[in-house]
Each structure stands twice: as C-alpha cells, then as structure tokens.
C-alpha cells in the first residue's frame, strides 16, 4: 500500500475525547476525513462534532472495555457511514506499580483497558475493513514497549502486548490487503502524562503527535515512532545486554 491521503476516508478513532485521540480526530477532520469519534465522555465528543461539523465528525459514545457495546458500535458505523476504511484504536490508561505493595488489580485494569479493548475493537471492525479498498488498522502502543522500565510492569506489559499483536497482524492481514501500523510515541503532553512525577525528556504537544501519527497513516508506515530524538536513542538503548541495561535503568529508581 502506497501513500494514501486521509481526505474522504471513513476513520474510527477511540479514546477521542482527550489527549492524543482528540488531537488525532481533529487533525483527521482538518485533512478532510470523515471521523467517527468514540470515548466514554459523550459531552466532549459532541462538542468536538459541533466544532468540526456534523458531516465531518460523528460522536459515538463507547466504553471500549465492553465487548458487546464495541460490536454494536461497529454495526452503528456500518449504518452511518456504509463502511469503514481506517481504524485507530487508541483508548488507554496508565497506572504505575509500587512493588512494595504489589497489586494484581492494577494489571487487570491496565490489560483490560489497553489491550483487551483493542482485541474487541479488532474483532468488531475487521469485517468492515475487509470490505474497504484501502483498509488500515492502527494501534496505539508506546516506546515503553521496547524494553522494561521502572514502575512500568503493568503499563509496559500492556503496550508490549499491543506491539506484538499488531506486528503479528501485519503479517497475517497482509494477504488480505489490510495495512497494519503500530504507534510508539515517546512522551506527549496529555492529561495522563501531566500526572507523571518524573522527568519526561523531549515531551511534545498532542497536536504535534497528531500530525506525526496522521502523516504515518497516510504513508502507511508499519511503525510510527516519535519524537525521533527520543525514540531512536531508546531503540538503541534497548539493544544493550540485559545486565548493562538494568544497571543504567536502576538510576531511574527513586530510593524508598
């Protein structure tokens, strides 16, 4: 699949009420796509739809952790738009692990929202994508998927699972003509990262992230990672032997 502009294409974005998802939905609409925006916050979705125009952004409230509701959302997209060309599965949360109070509930919540919701979304929209001439499936992972980081036992595991899932789908869906991409951003200014209590080098604004993501969608890039001044050095760092990598990362851990 070569470069395909998003103009005129029917695109579903989850986690679209805030942060990267909202910025991507707005950027897609700005470039002429027809966007179905999903999240739990119905008011925020409606405000975005009103601002962009009812023929450009359709609000479709959804709890992505509800498999049945996700399947019904796909049916609603089929009724509204008569099909779908692109799905950007983006919804997610971030919780950090305190190993002194190891709690499996953190892992359950994180995997349910970040990983299983994407599995539900893929199940729901694959039939629609198969009917498109230029189908694309995009999933939001993270640079943390490259290697383990302090306190990221749950969040990092969910993002690594997403990266593995989408890399596997790149192989299995290629024969069907469905382009698959995984997004691995560094730090982006969002309500989630605003809660972080550690330095975030090279953090970019959500609008810049959205431009990079939509550029990658149009280019059909298998992996969309940015900002390069962070993601490329971290890729190289991840290649270090385990003992050396762990020694370097141990300096990131705050003493208790």
Domain assignment present for residue 89? The answer is yes
CB-based contact 17:51 (threshold 8 Å)? no
Residue 108: domain span? 10-252
Domain assignment present for residue 31? The answer is yes
Taking residue 248's Cβ as centre, other Cβ atoms within 10 Å add up to: 11
CATH label of the domain that carries residue 184: 3.40.50.720
How far apart are alpha carbons 92 and 180 in whole angstroms?
A: 19
Domain assignment present for residue 5? The answer is no
Domain assignment present for residue 1? The answer is no
Categorize the per-residue pLDDT at 163 as very low, low, confident or very high, splitting at 50, 70 and 90. very high
Burial class (CB in 10 A: 0-12, 13-18, 19+), 253: exposed
Categorize the per-residue pLDDT at 236 as very low, low, confident or very high, splitting at 50, 70 and 90. very high
Q: Which residue would you say has higher pLDDT here, 150 or 138?
A: 138
Q: How many domains does the chain have?
A: 1
Q: Answer yes or no: is pLDDT of 255 > 90.
A: no
Task: Spot the catalytic one: 96, 120, 146, 155.
Answer: 155
Which SS3 state, helix, strand or coil, does residue 138 take? strand
Domain assignment present for residue 117? The answer is yes
Domain assignment present for residue 148? The answer is yes
Domain assignment present for residue 74? The answer is yes
This prediction's pTM: 0.92
CB-based contact 47:121 (threshold 8 Å)? no
How far apart are alpha carbons 7 and 33 in whole angstroms?
A: 5
pLDDT tens digit sequence for 73-124: 999 999 999 999 999 999 999 899 999 999 999 999 999 999 999 999 999 9
Question: Which tokens belong to 108?
Answer: 């359950």
Q: Answer yes or no: is pLDDT of 132 > 80.
A: yes
Domain assignment present for residue 2? The answer is no
Q: Answer yes or no: is pLDDT of 200 > 90.
A: no
Catalytic residue list contains 245: no
Mean confidence (pLDDT) of the chain: 93
């Amino acid at each position: 699949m070569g470069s395909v502009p998003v103009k005129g294409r029917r695109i579903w974005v989850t986690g679209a009420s805030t942060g990267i998802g909202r910025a991507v939905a707005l950027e897609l609409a700005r470039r002429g796509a027809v966007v179905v925006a999903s999240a739990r916050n119905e008011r925020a979705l409606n405000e975005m739809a009103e601002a962009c125009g009812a023929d450009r952004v359709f609000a479709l409230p959804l709890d992505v952790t509800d498999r049945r509701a996700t399947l019904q959302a796909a049916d609603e997209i089929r009724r509204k738009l008569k099909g779908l060309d692109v799905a950007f599965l983006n919804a997610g949360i971030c919780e950090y692990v305190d190993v002194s109070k190891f709690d499996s509930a953190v892992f359950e919540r994180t995997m349910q929202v970040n990983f299983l919701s994407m599995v539900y979304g893929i199940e729901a929209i694959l039939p629609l994508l198969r009917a498109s001439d230029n189908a694309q499936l995009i999933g939001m992972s993270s640079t943390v998927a490259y290697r383990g980081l302090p306190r990221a036992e749950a969040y990092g595991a969910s993002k690594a699972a997403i990266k593995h899932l989408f890399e596997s789908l790149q192989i299995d869906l290629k024969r069907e003509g469905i382009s698959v991409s995984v997004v691995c951003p560094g730090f982006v200014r969002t309500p989630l990262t605003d809660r972080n209590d550690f330095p975030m080098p090279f953090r970019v604004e959500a609008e810049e992230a959205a431009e990079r993501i939509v550029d990658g969608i149009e280019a059909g890039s298998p992996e969309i990672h940015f900002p390069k001044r962070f993601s490329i050095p971290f890729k190289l760092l991840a290649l270090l032997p385990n003992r050396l990598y762990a020694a370097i990362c141990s300096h990131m851990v705050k003493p208790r």
